Chain A
């Protein structure tokens, strides 16, 4: 398989998926009695300046969430608990930063560390349960989501500061805010500086997975646990560590918004990113570059769909169908491409074997491609 053909192969799948999603969405919109043309016109309308800002901000959080899910997937772990991990982390971090134990920028660093540690510990519970008691992480992380929601809700209604009908944590001091830069007018909002966390996390993810022993062990365990055990990988240790890392990344999800514009945990907290992340991780094939495009696409669709409720009678929920179909179609398309590639490889090998006289063949060494 030449690199060019491989590249084309990995581009074809997402393109097919997007086209399929557009077709199916159009059918759904038409069936519900509205005009598909109108739908796509609104979605593809050039975004307003502030919408560009929102897309960048939102995609950074979706990216982090997807990264957290992806590290689990690469290791064959389904961390469905990103939602609860970042909720716990956001709340605890907001409380600590709001208390302002340390001054200024140091407080920001403290807040980030607290968020990572909280997220990691919350995910770690599921990891420890899996290796010591054999509890499936799918079950335990879902349950931990519910526990996190209830715990945070309890703490908020017991200790939260009441403003009007809402509760919030203490607003963080001016000196601990990280506002960001305004590419357009002041009123169009700012791109949060901590969006950079997402970029750094993506680079670190790529480096650790592809260039370190740990990353190799992780991928090996994900592809074949028995093979990994045979080559000396301690699988249970790997499970706990990957859950910790996954949770740690999850802890960072809401941090750009927290330090950039919310300044407290309360009505401004954005729930639901954990589940979006799972879909985007699948869409991006658990690789940072793919996830980045997936995050941008989802953020774009989410933001543009806000216009639907204002300018048409098409439900905003139609976009959820689009997103669902994209994910489904991508998985199907990759499977089709993978099978075709495997078949092509097999043919190539057979041809080679037939062409060469017996005795000289040293096995099909060119087919042992690493794929996850």
Chain B
């Protein structure tokens, strides 16, 4: 009994400590995003799991905020979601931001949908924005909520084209953070893009977590998944796994020359380490920054956005990056596909076959 207690105590403490380490990605203390603005909107910015410093999804929202600070004189308060937190914690976070007079309040990540739906009616004069969000009730949508949606499948299609044109082994991979419908949308677009160029190319697909959102903050999991793909013969791996992506890049570095990774959401070449840079072919851009900025601007202009806002390829809501210059030779071909998507000639599937 006493021995068991000691073992149990050690493992309980270890698991708490590991959680603390895994989430230790916030660089909030290092650079001050919120201070130094003018008399623009006072933004409440609630990040998803992973938070600022994930060099991907949440950082894209932060860039939108930064632009708003420069152009609109906006100020802000940041807050971050915790892995495994209760619904009430998200609600409490939004309520506190609203009570402190923030407007607009932006939740990054669809996990905020329920909380916004519960909080928004109590603050009718405050505007809310939810990146990737949706109205969970489906009946009476709140007028003061904007759902900022993206055509991730279209952007993923383009990097799929890039992968198909660049692969030497006719074998590419996809690492998803969590096996949910949103990430399956990335997979669907990517696979369709690869197939559009060459249907004979093999696409390996792995998800880090089936359901648990920790899959977006698990670099070790991302690395393991990608390393297996490189070993199996893939030479390009696209990740849609938020903060876990740095592990995918590390796997590419370790796999050696001519092994590539494709970033997601932000232009990840810009934030990668020097040895990772040589392996980041391109990044699928999901312009969360544009959406965040537009939401803040709409409040500054006194015409707050409401209901569903669609950021697709035609609206420059998604795209791909060229930093590093590794895909300059195929840029024309990718842009041709982009035009076809914009004109409606090519329709990109949003669900996995």
A, B assembled together:
yes
Q: List A residues at the B interface (Cβ < 8 Å).
A: 32-34, 48, 50-51, 54, 57-58, 73, 76, 78, 80, 149-150, 152-154, 156-157, 162-167, 187, 189, 222-223, 257, 261-262, 267-268, 270-273, 275, 278-279, 282, 302-303, 306-307, 309-310, 313, 315-318, 320-321, 323-325, 327-328, 331, 335, 372
The reply to whether A310 and B96 form a contact with Cβ atoms under 8 Å apart is: yes
8 Å CB contact of A310 from B17, B77, B134: B77
**Nearest CB in chain A to that of B2: its residue:** A335
The reply to whether B6 and A275 form a contact with Cβ atoms under 8 Å apart is: no
Contacts of A323 in B (CB 8 A): 16
Q: For window 81-128 of chain B, which residues contact chain A by CB distance below 8 Å?
A: 82-89, 91-93, 95-97, 100, 110-111, 113-114, 122
Given contacts A73-B8, A153-B211, A187-B122, contact A275 B15 (CB under 8 A): yes
8 Å CB contact of B110 from A153, A164, A313, A318: A164
The reply to whether B92 and A50 form a contact with Cβ atoms under 8 Å apart is: yes
The reply to whether A153 and B210 form a contact with Cβ atoms under 8 Å apart is: yes
Minimum distance in angstroms from A372 CB to a CB of chain B = 6
The answer, yes or no, to whether B136 is at the interface (CB within 8 Å) is yes
The reply to whether B87 and A167 form a contact with Cβ atoms under 8 Å apart is: no
Number of interchain pairs (Cβ within 8 Å): 170
Contacts of B8 in A (CB 8 A): 73, 78, 278, 282
Contacts of B20 in A (CB 8 A): 317-318, 320-321, 324
Closest 10 pairs between A and B when the two form their complex, measured CB to CB = A164-B134, A153-B210, A272-B84, A153-B211, A324-B16, A165-B182, A165-B110, A317-B20, A331-B9, A279-B12
Contacts of B254 in A (CB 8 A): none
Contacts of A324 in B (CB 8 A): 12-13, 16-17, 20
Stretch at the interface among B24-32, B269-277, B316-324: B24-32
The reply to whether A272 and B83 form a contact with Cβ atoms under 8 Å apart is: yes
The answer, yes or no, to whether B181 is at the interface (CB within 8 Å) is yes
The reply to whether A166 and B86 form a contact with Cβ atoms under 8 Å apart is: no
Contacts of B168 in A (CB 8 A): none
The reply to whether B4 and A78 form a contact with Cβ atoms under 8 Å apart is: yes
A149 CA to B16 CA, complexed, in Å: 20
Contacts of B13 in A (CB 8 A): 279, 324-325, 327-328
The answer, yes or no, to whether B343 is at the interface (CB within 8 Å) is no
Contacts of B134 in A (CB 8 A): 163-166
Minimum distance in angstroms from B204 CB to a CB of chain A = 19
A63 CA to B135 CA, complexed, in Å: 33
Q: List B residues at the A interface (Cβ < 8 Å).
A: 1-2, 4-9, 11-13, 15-17, 19-20, 23-24, 26, 28-29, 77-80, 82-89, 91-93, 95-97, 100, 110-111, 113-114, 122, 132-136, 138, 147, 179-182, 184, 209-212
The reply to whether A58 and B19 form a contact with Cβ atoms under 8 Å apart is: no
The reply to whether B180 and A157 form a contact with Cβ atoms under 8 Å apart is: yes
Minimum distance in angstroms from A36 CB to a CB of chain B = 15
8 Å CB contact of B93 from A267, A275, A310: A310
A83 CA to B341 CA, complexed, in Å: 45
The reply to whether B113 and A164 form a contact with Cβ atoms under 8 Å apart is: yes
Counting chain A CB atoms within 10 Å of each CB, the highest count among B13, B79, B136 belongs to: B13
The reply to whether B210 and A162 form a contact with Cβ atoms under 8 Å apart is: no
8 Å CB contact of B1 from A149, A321, A372: A372
Q: Is the interface of A mostly helix, strand, loop or mixed?
A: helix
A80 CA to B14 CA, complexed, in Å: 13
**Nearest CB in chain A to that of B211: its residue:** A153
- Given A157-B179, A321-B16, 20 additional A-B pairs, CB 8 A: A58-B88, A149-B212, A153-B210, A163-B138, A164-B132, A164-B147, A165-B110, A165-B113, A165-B182, A166-B134, A187-B95, A257-B87, A268-B114, A278-B12, A282-B5, A310-B93, A313-B28, A324-B12, A325-B13, A327-B16
A48 CA to B135 CA, complexed, in Å: 28
Can you name 26 A-B pairs with beta carbons within 8 Å? A57-B88, A73-B8, A150-B211, A152-B210, A153-B210, A156-B211, A162-B181, A164-B113, A166-B136, A166-B181, A257-B87, A262-B87, A267-B113, A268-B114, A270-B85, A271-B84, A278-B12, A279-B13, A282-B12, A310-B79, A315-B24, A323-B16, A327-B16, A328-B9, A328-B13, A372-B1
Contacts of A268 in B (CB 8 A): 87, 114
**Nearest CB in chain A to that of B89: its residue:** A306
Minimum distance in angstroms from B207 CB to a CB of chain A = 9
The reply to whether B181 and A152 form a contact with Cβ atoms under 8 Å apart is: no
